[in-house]
Structure 1
């Protein structure tokens, strides 16, 4: 029962018409027809569908049930769905699943342990485990080609996903969590090691950049450190050049 309550909550949040229209407009401004994109942590598939509407060729990864099953039956057939996670190496891993709050299911034990005493997460319980297949971004590139954009939303596992990438990609986004700034600081370090990235952020599901100009890594670090733990999470975008 909890699993379906969680599924319903995700459906209401991420599949509402306003959010879908917002992200369609956003991606039409940043992607062009034929761009290859990877959606790592597709969840309900809202972003994958929005990127497809911009003309992109979408490779979507989602390991968590029942979302992978939902995507299997509802995604357009020209979106390639892989029922797997991404990480540093090709392997299998145990995902800590929150049935009532599936958006915070995670492959990172440190994230789950830290969340127990973090504002905004005190109501969350990780009540079951799921074994998932793990691929690497380098492996996906070898199979499908070099992407224009990679979207990563994996609840604290972003650094591990990027550790499986050995080459720069023009545009990458990762979820940032104000309650866990150190996770995003580590991601910024990893991205900066891959290439000369500048950064911008989208708060929540607004589908709009916070800043008129892209910022350097040091500026973004300062901004992250100044956020309240209870502020809305969002996407941190990294752009080459």
Structure 2
């Protein structure tokens, strides 16, 4: 007997279920929360406000909340929202919004990978170019497009206040997110991906235009900074150009440097 072919809708449901399960295995593994809280504790004090832009299944949203922060979490993928809500169940002060952040208010077209929801992106050029520029993305298919609301970081600041920390993980849209920010924030992180360092360079240039920042980076899902001392944006970019290919991806952290005393002013 010939097997009955599965309907497109059933195959789409199966792909989506596999994708969500993959994310849960990666981001909900035992011991991960303790490591995340140790990593973010230097940036966050109880009562602080944190923006989680690209919250996914909520592993970092949960860590922020458990550190005592008020959290605004943006996640545009509808299939992930129930898991994000479960991650922070019973925790107060968490606002979940099904939106993307970007350079202006409005809407965006989200390119969804059902089997790899971590790389769903509102940046079509990033999606189109990354398969040829990063070999680890060659097997990924973006097989659905949905319209999602877009807000700016400035809008979120106007509504909630200025965050102590802002995590940005939006698969190629990081520089566009920062275009919607005109206020320097104390600390933030954004993802970098080998083959797309032009986005990283754009992010650093925008942050340096807002204020003086020091930078460090963490490879992949590790919990250890690459450098013992925080670096300038130029130094970080030079290092990534030499070593970023073998690293693949990771997160770049920026913290605002204290203002230098004016010329002639005595330091305490």
Alignment TM-score, normalising by the size of structure 1: 0.96
SS of residue matched to 2:214:
strand
1:12 corresponds to which residue? 25
From 89, 97, 102, the equivalent of 2:117 is 102
Residue 2 of structure 1 corresponds to which residue in structure 2?
Answer: 15
| Deviation digits for residues 184-226 of structure 1 (CA, Å, limit 9, x no counterpart) | 0111111111111110111122222111110001101101111
- Which ranges of structure 1 fall in alignment gaps of 5 or more residues? none
Correspondence for 2:178: 162
Q: Which has the larger radius of gyration?
A: 2
The whole-number CA distance in structure 1 between the counterparts of 2:136 and 2:246 is 6
Alpha-carbon distance change, 209 to 230 in structure 1, aligned in 2, over 3 angstroms = closer
Alignment of 1:87 onto 2:102: yes
Q: Which residue of 2 aligns with 1:48?
A: 61
Count residues in correspondence.
241
TM norm structure 2: 0.87
Say which SS state the counterpart of residue 56 (structure 2) adopts: coil
When structure 1 is superposed on structure 2, of 133-142 and 229-238 the one drifting more is 229-238
Q: Is the 8 A contact 2:53 2:75 kept in 1?
A: yes
Q: Determine which of 97, 111, 128 is the counterpart of 2:126.
A: 111
- The Cα of 1:73 is off from its aligned counterpart by 4.5
Aligned partner of residue 66 in structure 1, secondary structure: coil
CA RMSD of aligned residues (A): 1.3
Partner in structure 2 of residue 215 of structure 1: 231
How far 1:113 sits from its partner (Å)? 0.6
Q: From the superposition, tell whether residues 73 and 51 of structure 1 become closer, same or farther in structure 2 (CA, over 3 Å).
A: closer
Instruction: Name the CA distance, whole Å, in 1 between partners of 2:214 and 2:117.
Output: 31
Q: Which runs of 5+ in 2 are unaligned?
A: 1-13, 258-268
Can you list the C-alpha shifts for 1:83-114, whole angstroms capped at 9, x where unaligned?
11100111111100111111111000110110
| CA distance in 1 between partners of 2:49 and 2:179 (Å) | 20
CA distance in 2, matches of 1:93, 1:177: 22
Could you tell me which residue of structure 2 aligns to residue 65 of structure 1? 78
Structure number with higher relative contact order (C-alpha < 8 Å, ≥ 6 residues apart): 1
